[in-house]
């Protein structure tokens, strides 16, 4: 999409530097001149929102790490020290803990947008796969971050999730012991999780660079799902158009974020994590954070541990195969009436699984989780491959401009 | 192996039809245990602030009742912090001096010295094991109690709670427990405690007659506040909320400014975006 930069710095110093390292040209071609489809809706602002959240998490996290002590007997107290004695420490910590939830909320909306408008389809498969990699890294980062306050849910959550590896035949127990650095979740586990929790966000940042690069090679998808044919007619430059729109969306998103941080900072958290980790006292009800709940429900819906773990891994991993599972020739869901219905059923089943993941795994709840898990997987392995072959789609506009311009009287 | 795989795949499908019938059964699974009722708190909502006088009364309840078993684990100095009970510096120094703190002198000998504001309010027990030996189970530290106890209002109320900014589950829970000893003959039976068998016998029995509920010392409060069980439990619950979340006043005060700024900024950003895009739409 973006060709060689035509950017020429105004100052002599700028030109001198540009001849030696065309940094200005890179930024100019990526974030100023980059052509964006003119028909993007607000669902396309989540990329900018996610970049903002990644930066916010890294900044608050780096400062928190200056005050936090990753040691099993001191960690819980050091978080309370941040909350009580560090200047604005409560704000930093609430920004960071709620920031994780905001990050996931934006990521889920970003992913669902991609699924609805078929953004994973050719030629954007690598772009999509990089997104799956980022998503997996986010999972690992968030999970390990939740362990750091060393509350009782941190400890028992870590125990439940790391124990999943013990389901692997023959080597499972060895892998679990290796992850723990001992025979239970303890100080060595906390130390390595802190180290990795600091490392992974920078790996996310690296994957984001590749994700954006891939995006700029193939260009953005758009609600019409048709490729740019005429840059002048179908697109507008990134700056000022996308920057102004993303800027507005980011501020709106910050209002929601601020609501959580300043008014309901513990709404999404678990009260048990304000109890210091205690290996002898199991919480009445071990639940992960909300963003893991659908997967947790899928895990628990299968009574066999190994099969449950396989289902959990498959639930996340199957998203990587989306570009090849969806057989439809039409990219955007806008022109696929039957797809729309199934898409929203899929969203409803994921939300339903999220609700069930927070409930006690008994009787009716388990049965409901099983039904919804079948719906979840059914969307990927039955609906998408079959629907593309049998579905009757609506006519697709020939160009992006045609999809938004008032249709002129038929010329021919 | 194969039949179990089949069962796990087939069973949900077979039960799809029964789903609608199964739904009402969920409600019956809930244990018959009342959840605490929502009290009205001065620190609730977007403009909530702690009531200084209430926190001072709550501290008195803590000191006279709770501290006989529970550690608070916060420094004396915090009692004079803004947004807290706001005792004067002099009051806090005098209070701290009434405690004897374990320390080591410059010869390395273990000594006891009068407390200072920077000291943590000492616990009546030397350590957890001593407390556990006395009670069978160590009473929990109280500095986070109001955030470490919660309950769910269930669907759909937990969604509504986000919009009403309901974050007072902890103090509501503490209030409910203190008023949940409804059997005068069994002081370890609590209506609101999960399973009803609570290790802590009714702590307010030292202030109120278990049978009549009348105050044993009507002059317990010196500021004219009526000494009722409801009032005392509310005061101590509010105090424990402050102990758990001392930054609440500052948080909500700053939060209002942040919100006002962001909303104004959002309007500016919106009109900027509209202006920028106006020529595109004109051509469209």
**Average of per-residue pLDDT across B206-232:** 94
pLDDT in tens, B233-277: 999 999 999 999 999 999 999 999 999 999 999 999 999 999 999
With contact defined as beta carbons under 8 Å apart, do A217 and A382 qualify? Answer: no
Q: What is the pLDDT of residue B33?
A: 83
In this predicted structure, the answer to whether residue A227 has a pLDDT above a threshold of 50 is: yes
Q: How far is B76 from chain A (nearest CA, A)?
A: 13
* Whole-angstrom distance, CA of residue A92 vs CA of residue A261: 9
**DSSP secondary structure string, B38-63?**
PPP-TT-STT----HHHHHHHHHHHH
CA-to-CA distance for B123 and B165, rounded, in angstroms? Answer: 34
Least confident interval from A108-112, A131-135, A361-365, B92-96 = A361-365
Q: A241 and B276: CB-CB below 8 Å?
A: yes
Instruction: Look at residue A214 and tell me whether its pLDDT is greater than 80.
Output: yes
Task: Evaluate whether the domain defined by A287-392 bears CATH number 1.10.287.980.
Answer: yes
The phi, psi pair for B104, rounded to 5°, reads: -125, 130
A window 140-199, beta carbon within 8 A of B: none
Give the confidence band of A404 by pLDDT, cuts at 50, 70, 90.
confident
Extract the tokens encoding B256: 């209002």
pLDDT at position B19 over 60: no
**Percent share of chain A, pLDDT over 90:** 94
Question: CATH for B43-71+141-260?
Answer: 1.10.760.10
More confident call, A47 vs B4: A47
B185 CB contacts (<8 Å, ≥6 apart)?
A: none
Instruction: Give the pLDDT score at A410.
Output: 54
3 state SS of A231? helix
Of the pLDDT bands very low, low, confident and very high (cuts 50, 70, 90), residue A363 is: confident
Query: Residue range A343-359: average pLDDT?
Result: 97
Between residues A392 and B284, the one the model is more confident about: A392
CB-based contact, B74 to chain A, within 8 Å:
yes
**Cross-chain residue pair B165–A362, CB shorter than 8 Å:** no
- Beta strands A35-37; B110-114: pairing state: unpaired
Helix axes A187-218, A172-180, angle to 10 degrees: 100
Does the structure show a pLDDT above 70 at B2? no
B47 and A CB contact within 8 Å: no
Which residue out of A52, A253, A274 would a mutagenesis test of the B interface target, given it has the greatest number of B Cβ atoms within 10 Å? Answer: A274
Residues of B with Cβ-Cβ distance to A360 under 8 angstroms: 29
Helix axis angle, A363-378 to A305-317, nearest 10°: 40
Selected residue with higher pLDDT from B195 and B23:
B195
Angle at B267 between CA B261 and CA B271, to 5 degrees: 145
pLDDT band at B7; cut points 50, 70, 90 = very low
pLDDT tens track for A275-334: 999 999 999 999 999 999 999 999 999 999 999 999 999 999 999 999 999 999 999 999
Q: Is A373 on the interface with B (CB under 8 A)?
A: yes
Start and end residues for every CATH 1.10.287.980 domain found in chain A: 287-392
Percent share of chain B, pLDDT over 90: 83
For the segment A122-147, what is each residue's pLDDT rounded down to a tens digit? 999 999 999 999 999 999 999 999 99
Q: Which of B9-18, B92-101, B171-180 has the lowest mean pLDDT?
A: B9-18
Start and end residues for every CATH 1.10.760.10 domain found in chain B: 43-71+141-260
Confidence of residue A1 (pLDDT cuts 50, 70, 90): very low
Q: What band does B29 get if pLDDT is binned at 50, 70 and 90?
A: very low
Query: Rounded to the nearest 5°, which phi and psi values hold at A235?
Result: -130, 165
Which DSSP symbol is given to B75? B
Phi and psi at residue A139, to the nearest 5°: -55, -50
Q: Give CA angle at B66 (B60, B72), nearest 5°.
A: 90
pLDDT in tens, B40-82: 999 999 999 999 999 999 999 999 999 999 999 999 999 999 9
Q: Which of A311, A302, A301 is nearest to A352 (CA)?
A: A301
Calculate mean pLDDT across residues A107-114. 98
The pLDDT of A328-341, averaged and rounded, is 97
Model pLDDT, residue A405 = 74
Q: Which residues contact B18 (CB under 8 A, 6 or more apart)?
A: A367
Residues in chain B within 8 Å Cβ distance of A366: none
At residue A249 the predicted structure's pLDDT band, cuts being 50, 70 and 90, is: very high
Radius of gyration of chain A (CA): 24
CB contact under 8 A, B148 and A307: no
pLDDT for residue A408 is more than 60: no
Closest of B66, B60, B69, B118 to residue B92, by C-alpha:
B118
In chain A, ranges of CATH 1.20.810.10 domains: 1-7+23-268
Q: What is the ipTM of this complex?
A: 0.93
Which DSSP string corresponds to B190-234?
Answer: -SSSTTSB-SS--GGGGTB-TTT--BS-TTS-SSS----HHHHHH
Please compute the mean of the pLDDT values over residues B123-135 and round it to a whole number: 94
Looking at every residue in chain A, the average pLDDT score rounds to: 95
Question: Taking the CA atoms of chain B, what radius of gyration do you get in angstroms?
Answer: 26
A17 close contact with B: CB closer than 8 A: no
Question: Which residue in the set A91, A236, A371 is minimally distant from B19, CB to CB?
Answer: A371
Show Cβ contacts of residue B36 under 8 Å, excluding neighbours closer than 6 positions: B151, B169, B172, B173, B175, B176, B192
- Is B143 within 8 Å of B70 (Cβ atoms)? no
| Contact B25/A at CB under 8 A | yes
Q: Are A117 and A223 in contact (CB under 8 A)?
A: yes
Contact A316, A295 (CB under 8 A): yes
Q: Which CATH fold topology does A1-7+23-268 show? A: Cytochrome Bc1 Complex; Chain C (1.20.810)
Task: Provide, rounded to the nearest whole percent, the portion of chain A with pLDDT above 70.
Answer: 97
């Amino acid at each position: 999409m973006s060709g060689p930069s035509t950017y020429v710095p105004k100052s002599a110093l700028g030109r001198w530097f540009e001849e030696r390292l065309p940094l200005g040209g890179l930024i100019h071609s990526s974030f100023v001149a980059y052509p964006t489809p003119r028909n993007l809706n607000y669902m396309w602002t989540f990329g900018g929102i996610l970049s903002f959240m990644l930066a916010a998490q890294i900044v608050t996290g780096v400062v928190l790490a200056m005050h936090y002590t990753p040691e099993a007997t001191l960690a819980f107290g050091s978080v309370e020290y941040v909350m009580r004695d560090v200047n604005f420490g409560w704000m930093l910590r609430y920004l960071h803990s709620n920031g994780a939830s905001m990050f996931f909320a934006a990521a889920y909306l970003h992913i669902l947008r991609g699924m609805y408008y078929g953004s994973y389809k050719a030629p954007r498969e690598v772009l999509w796969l990089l997104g799956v990699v980022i998503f997996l890294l986010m999972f690992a980062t968030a999970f390990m971050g939740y362990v750091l306050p060393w509350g009782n849910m941190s400890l028992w959550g870590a125990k439940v999730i790391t124990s999943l590896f013990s389901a692997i035949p023959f080597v499972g127990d060895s892998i679990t012991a290796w992850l723990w650095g001992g025979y239970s979740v303890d100080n060595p586990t906390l130390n390595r999780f802190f180290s990795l929790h600091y490392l992974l966000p920078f790996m996310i940042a690296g994957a984001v660079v590749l994700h954006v690069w891939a995006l700029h090679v193939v260009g953005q998808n758009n609600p019409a799902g048709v490729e740019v044919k005429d840059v002048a007619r179908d697109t507008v430059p990134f700056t000022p158009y996308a920057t102004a729109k993303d800027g507005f969306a980011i501020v709106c998103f910050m209002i929601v974020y601020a609501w959580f941080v300043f008014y309901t900072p513990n709404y999404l958290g678990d009260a048990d994590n304000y109890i210091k980790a205690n290996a002898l006292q199991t919480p009445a009800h071990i639940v992960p954070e909300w963003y893991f709940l659908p997967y947790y429900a899928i895990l628990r819906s299968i009574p066999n541990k190994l099969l449950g773990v396989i289902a959990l891994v498959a639930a996340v991993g199957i998203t990587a195969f989306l570009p090849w599972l969806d057989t439809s020739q039409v990219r955007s869901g806008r022109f696929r009436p039957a797809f729309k219905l199934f898409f929203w059923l899929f969203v409803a089943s994921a939300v339903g699984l999220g609700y069930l993941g927070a409930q006690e795994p008994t009787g009716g709840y388990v049965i409901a989780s099983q039904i919804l898990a079948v719906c979840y997987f059914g969307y990927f392995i039955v609906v998408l491959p079959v629907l593309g072959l049998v579905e009757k789609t609506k006519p697709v506009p020939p160009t992006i401009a045609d999809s938004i311009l008032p249709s002129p009287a038929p010329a021919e | 192996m194969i039949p179990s795989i089949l069962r796990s795949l087939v069973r949900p499908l077979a039960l799809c039809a029964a789903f609608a019938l199964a739904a009402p059964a969920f409600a019956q699974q809930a244990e018959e245990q009342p959840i605490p009722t929502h009290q009205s708190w001065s620190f609730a909502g977007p403009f909530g602030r702690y009531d200084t006088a209430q926190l001072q009364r709550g501290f008195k309840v803590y000191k006279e009742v709770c501290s006989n078993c529970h550690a608070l684990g916060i420094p004396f100095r915090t009692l004079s912090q803004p947004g807290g009970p706001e005792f004067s510096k002099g009051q806090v120094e005098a209070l701290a001096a009434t405690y004897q703190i374990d320390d080591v002198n410059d010869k390395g000998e273990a000594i006891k010295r009068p407390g200072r504001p920077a000291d943590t309010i000492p616990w009546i027990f030397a350590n957890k094991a001593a407390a556990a030996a006395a009670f069978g189970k160590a009473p929990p530290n109280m500095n986070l109690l109001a955030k470490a106890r919660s309950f769910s209002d269930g669907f759909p109320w937990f969604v509504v709670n986000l919009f009403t900014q309901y974050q007072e589950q902890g103090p509501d829970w503490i209030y409910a427990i203190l008023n949940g000893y409804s059997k005068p003959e069994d002081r370890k039976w609590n209506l609101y405690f999960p399973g009803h068998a609570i290790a802590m016998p009714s702590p307010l029995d030292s202030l109120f007659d278990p049978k009549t509920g009348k105050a044993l010392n009507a002059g317990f409060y010196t500021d004219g506040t009526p000494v009722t069980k409801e009032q005392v439990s509310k005061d101590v619950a509010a105090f424990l909320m402050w102990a758990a979340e001392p930054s609440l006043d500052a948080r909500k005060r700053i939060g209002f400014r942040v919100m006002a700024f962001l909303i104004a900024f959002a309007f500016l950003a919106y009109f900027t975006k509209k202006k920028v895009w106006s020529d595109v739409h004109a051509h469209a």
